[in-house]
Homo-oligomer: A and B are copies of this chain.
Amino acid sequence: MPRPKAFDEEAVLQKAVNLFWCRGYEATSVQDLVDGLGINRASLYDTYGDKRELYIKALEHYRDAEHNGFCQWMDQSRPAIDLLRDLFTGGIRQSVDDPQQKGCFLVNATIELAPHDPAIARIVAANQRTFEERLRQVIERGQREGSINRAHSAADLARFLFTTFTGLKVMSRARPDLSAMQAVMDVAMSTLQPID
Contact = CB atoms under 8 A, between A and B. Distances in A.
Nearest to A115: B101
Range of interface residues on A (Cβ < 8 Å): 35 or more
A24 to B, nearest CB: 6
A174 interface: yes
For this chain, the copies found in one complex come to 2
A12 to B, nearest CB: 23
A90 B112 CA distance: 24
Contact of A159 (B125, B157, B184, B191): B184
Contact of A110 (B27, B100, B128, B170): B170
B114 A111 contact: no
A128 B175 contact: yes
A112 B41 CA distance: 26
Contacts of A111: 24, 103, 107-108, 111-112, 170, 173
Interface stretch (A57-65, A74-82, A161-169): A161-169
A106 to B, nearest CB: 10
Interface in A85-129: 100-103, 107-108, 110-112, 114-116, 121, 124-125, 128
Nearest to A174: B114
Contact of A124 (B26, B159, B160, B174): B174
Interface string A35-76: 000000000000000000000000000000000000000000
Nearest to A192: B187
B23 A24 contact: no
A13 B125 CA distance: 33
A103 B113 CA distance: 12
List 3 tightest A-B contacts by C-beta distance, closest first. Answer: A26-B26, A167-B167, A163-B167
5 contacts: A110-B173, A152-B186, A152-B190, A159-B187, A160-B183
